Structure 1
Amino acid sequence: MKKRWISSLLAGLLAVSLTACGGGGAQQSGGGQTAASGSESSSGSAQAEPTTLKVGATAVPHAEILNEVVKPALEKEGINLEVIVFQDYVLPNTNLADGELDANYFQHIPWLENTNKEKGLDLTYVAGVHIEPMGIYSNKQKAYPDVASLPEGAKVAVTNGQGEHGRILALLQDAGLLKLKDGVGMNGTMADIVEKKVELVELEPAMLPRAIEDPGIDAAVINSNFALQAGLNPTKDSIHLESGENNPYVNVLATRQDNKDSEAIQKLAKALTSPEVKTFIEEKYGGSVLFVGQLNQ
């Protein structure tokens, strides 16, 4: 009887042991099947987390274009566009180079190239979007209804950003307010001025729209983005406006070299050069911003 009980006990322990081993294997396999089925369920029913792109921009027109047209288009592509607005022309590039931004949209090609050279950066652009014709403005238009009426020695405020001086000096020469050395074109510096009718006063770019309120300033050369932000209409309020024809100052979508071929950046570039952006620019800015819409291949 005792032997039979011991035999039964050993048989029971052996069965439990075999069940535990077999159950462990089944649990591992079952766990694998659960993970796989869970993965299938996730891919089949739950949407993937959207990609987030952080893009630096100045408020007008860049951030408006991004938020009002591009952001809704990218949401359909599974991309969340986060627009960070800047009031200067320095931080958007340094923050991009440092990896705090994925791209920026605020500057033209000569500014980007000059910044790369001066700061040793390696930024590039993936799309040319628009041109903002630079203008000369005066709130004393009753006295100075056009640029030719500015008197000898008039004080004209310009940006202190040297990367913009070539463009500004070319505009002032076109307006008949100064003369540059032969052959400098849009690459002139203050040292290239050989004759001038006016006195140039250098200020921070964002201060230029307010400068025309200063009784001591007769006129100011203002980028269209700051002009629009201040409620000025370049085509109506300027006393001299830069031509958009053969204009090299195309505002671009810039990014880092290691990021230019990413799928999200390419989708952003495509959205910025779309017919929808063209229509928005033409309807909202009425000729003050000129659509270009070229992908950089």
Structure 2
Amino acid sequence: MKKFAALLALVFTMFLAACGSESTSGGSSASEDKKITFGATAGPYSDMVTKAIKPILEEKGYEVEVVEFSDYIQPNKALASGDLDANLFQHKVYMESFAKEHNLELSELIVVPTAPMGIYSNKFSSMDEIADGATIAIPNDPTNAARAFLILEDAGLITISADADPLTVSENDIEDNVKNLKFEPIEAGQLPRAVESVDLSAVPGNFALAANMNLLDALVLENMPDQYRNRVVVNTKDLEEPFAKDIIEAVESPEFEAVIDAEFEGFGKPEWMLNR
């Protein structure tokens, strides 16, 4: 009987141990729950994650891995496949277009300060000096070309039809070309070099920074609508996850804005930062 009782106690103990093991292995461990893999394009946005977001998340107990990408395709594919928890590199128009084309469920968490497009020139030192008939290089893709035309309208150099969609403005929507500007569409990545060969060049902020241009050297910087500002993006199914809410808290923190002010000079802040 004593041997039977001992055997019964041993079986009962093993049963309890198995139950405890099952309860802890049924979900991620605490360390796994507190790990975030964050993708971003190499340059200012991977720097923003590394310098302004990662330290705040680490204070919250997360282990943060930053993965850099050199293109605009793989960060969303890696996010959708589960290799990333979040990414930072794209604006709303691109995110929605990419998600629709590839049948993905992507959602933004929060808009971040973004390097604006600017008009650069080695021939003129101000917008007022621009000569009649000057040539300006503009992006050859419709989305960024529309941004360039809106900058020129804000500067008083062209007038755009009131019926034009701001997201799809083209040369055909120009009603008045005050300086008789000539437009030269080229691939966006070549626009920094174009400063050397044409009178003016409309350079998106990310390409300007990649070419070691100073944003504040622009004759004028874009008054960027929020749909063109970059945002932190996650899979839609993760919108309510604790890590997603913690990323939002990190970006909304005074510590984040302090790093932006100190190290990302010229970046335009989104409306939520300006209005709080």
Whole-Å separation in 2 of the counterparts to 1:51 and 1:251: 25
Conserved? CA contact 1:103–1:254, under 8 Å = yes
Deviations 1:167-211 (A, max 9, x none): 222112223444433332523134434555333333443332233
Q: Does 1:102 align with 2:85?
A: yes
Q: 1:218 aligns to what? A: 199
Deviation at 1:120, TM superposition (A): 4.7
* Mapped partners of 1:132, 1:101: distance in 2: 24
Q: Distance in 2 between matches of 1:53 and 1:204?
A: 34
The alignment's C-alpha RMSD in Å is 3.4
Q: 1:92 to 1:30 in 2, by over 3 A?
A: closer
What is the rounded CA distance, in whole Å, between the counterparts of 1:278 and 1:190 in structure 2? Answer: 37
Q: Report the TM-score when normalising by structure 2.
A: 0.79
Q: After the TM superposition, which residues 162-241 of structure 1 pair with which residues of structure 2 at under 5 Å, given as runs?
A: 162-184=142-164, 186-187=166-167, 188-194=169-175, 196=177, 197-213=180-196, 215=197, 217-235=198-216, 237-241=217-221
In the superposition, relative to structure 1, how do residues 55 and 189 fare at CA in structure 2: closer, same or farther (>3 Å)?
Answer: farther
Output the CA distance in 1 between the equivalents of 2:130 and 2:84.
Answer: 43
Match of 1:264 among 225, 231, 243: 243
Q: Gaps spanning 5+ residues in structure 1: where?
A: 1-14, 41-45
Query: 1:212, CA displacement in angstroms?
Result: 2.1
Q: Which whole-Å CA distance do the structure 1 matches of 2:56 and 2:233 have between them? A: 19
- Do the aligned partners of residues 137 and 86 (structure 1) sit closer, same or farther apart at CA in structure 2, a change above 3 Å counting? farther
In 2, Cα distance between equivalents of 1:284 and 1:144: 28
Deviation at 1:293, TM superposition (A): 7.8
Structure 2: where are the runs of 5+ without partners?
24-28
Q: Aligned partners of 1:157 and 1:261: how far apart in 2?
A: 43
Q: Report the residue type matching 2:269 in the other structure.
A: F
Q: Is the 8 A contact 1:114 1:163 kept in 2?
A: no
Q: Does 1:53 align with 2:29?
A: no
Give, in whole Å, the separation in 2 of the partners of 1:247 and 1:265: 20
Q: How far apart are residue 63 of structure 1 and its match? A: 1.4
| One-letter amino acid of the structure 1 residue matched with residue 246 of structure 2 | K
TM-score w.r.t. structure 1 length? 0.74
Distance 2:83 2:261 in 1: 32
Q: Take 1:65 and 1:293, find their aligned partners in 2: how far apart are those partners? A: 18
2:241 and 2:30 mapped to 1: Cα distance?
21
The CA deviation at 1:282 is 0.9
Identity %: 29
**1:249 is aligned to 2:232:** no
The answer on whether the counterparts of 2:120 and 2:200 sit within 8 Å (CA) in structure 1 is: yes
In structure 2, the residue matched to 1:6 is none
In structure 2, C-alpha distance between the alignment counterparts of 1:147 and 1:87, rounded to whole Å: 33
How does 1:11-22 map onto structure 2 within 5 Å?
A: 19=3, 21-22=4-5
What is the deviation of 1:116? Answer: 4.0
Change (3 A) 1:255 1:205: farther
Taking the aligned partners of 2:96 and 2:262, their CA distance within structure 1 comes to 31
Paired residues of 1:105 and 1:254 also in contact (CA < 8 A)? yes
Write out per-residue CA displacement over residues 252-292 of structure 1, whole angstroms, 9 at most, x where no aligned residue.
21122111111111111211221111011111133x01334
Q: In the comparison of the two structures, how many residue pairs are matched?
A: 267
Deviations 1:206-254 (A, max 9, x none): 33223324x3x3322122233233332222x10122236x755332211
1:7-156 matches, cutoff 5 A:
19=3, 21-32=4-15, 48-49=31-32, 51-117=34-100, 119-138=102-121, 140=122, 143-156=123-136
Structure of greater Rg: 1
Paired with 1:92 and 1:49, the residues of 2 have a C-alpha distance of 21
Within 1, Cα distance between the matches of 2:202 and 2:8?
Answer: 78
Are the structure 2 counterparts of residues 272 and 204 from structure 1 closer, same or farther at C-alpha, using a change threshold of 3 Å? farther
Distance 1:103 1:48 in 2: 18
Secondary structure of residue in 2 paired with 1:291: coil
Indicate the residue corresponding to 2:252 in structure 1: 273
